[in-house]
Amino acid sequence: QVHLQESGPGLVKPSETLSLSCAVSDHSISSPYYWGWLRQPPGKGLQWIGSIFHSGYTHYNPSLQSRVTISVDTSRNQFSLRLTSVTASDTAVYYCARHGDYGEYWYFDLWGRGTLATVSS
Amino acid sequence: DIVMTQSPDSLAVSLGERATINCKSSQSVFYNYNNKNYLTWYQQKPGQPPKVIIYWASTRESGVPDRFSGSGSGTDFTLTISSLQAEDVAVYYCQQHHSSPITFGQGTRLEIK
């Protein structure tokens, strides 16, 4: 069964960079899906951060685009998120998730369990 | 950005009764060329990631009980649970993928009365 697992430091200092990885198990990351990152501040709603295809083609949320880089490592079957210049408002549970390659399939049918990243000095 | 607005913010329904959640988009999420609404409903239980229950506004995801149904087109959508069960207690979100960026509603918390 396909499984996504986020990993990364749970605590990041203000102004530093948040780096997370998502390992994909029992499924090739080179299959025709996009692999995305979303986040959810404690007690709040969901925000899409961006998505990447195995070719490296990316789509980003314009509200975060200046600070976000999503990359893919097909040899390790994982993809990653970098968010620079973090502030307390970036504190959230970060999820990795999968969605289809064509627009009509851009809903998230598979999710990791999420990892809490806290921005604090 | 397309703004998704859900109503109500919270809802309490008795077991066995109908629950209805609404979602309104700031612009149409319907595509004429394939006759599809790019609108998804998710269920999120405490401590868990969201789970797809309805996609294309009215198509039930595999394995989702048939008491869940979705309706609507264009800008106005509804998620209906025909007979509320205890395991349906959750926060429900709508999401549009008609235009980038993908956006979500603020969520509706469903509880047992």
Q: What is the pLDDT of residue A103?
A: 84
Q: How far apart are CA B55 and CA B98, in angstroms?
A: 12
Question: Contact B103/A48, CB-based, under 8 Å?
Answer: yes
pLDDT at A102 (0 to 100)? 85
- DSSP structure string for B93-107: EEEE-SSSSPEE---
Q: Which of the four pLDDT bands, split at 50, 70 and 90, describes residue A60?
A: very high
Residue B40's pLDDT is 98
Q: What number is the average pLDDT over the span A72-89?
A: 97
Contact with chain B for residue A47, Cβ under 8 A: yes
Residues 60-99 of A with CB under 8 A from B: 61-63, 95, 97, 99
Residue B73 tokens, joined:
């087109």
Residues of chain B with pLDDT under 70: none
Percent of chain B clearing pLDDT 90 (strictly above): 100
C-beta atoms surrounding A59 within 10 Å: 17
pLDDT tens, A7-38? 999 999 999 999 999 999 999 999 999 999 99
Query: In this complex, is the C-beta atom of B62 within 8 Å of any C-beta atom belonging to chain A?
Result: no
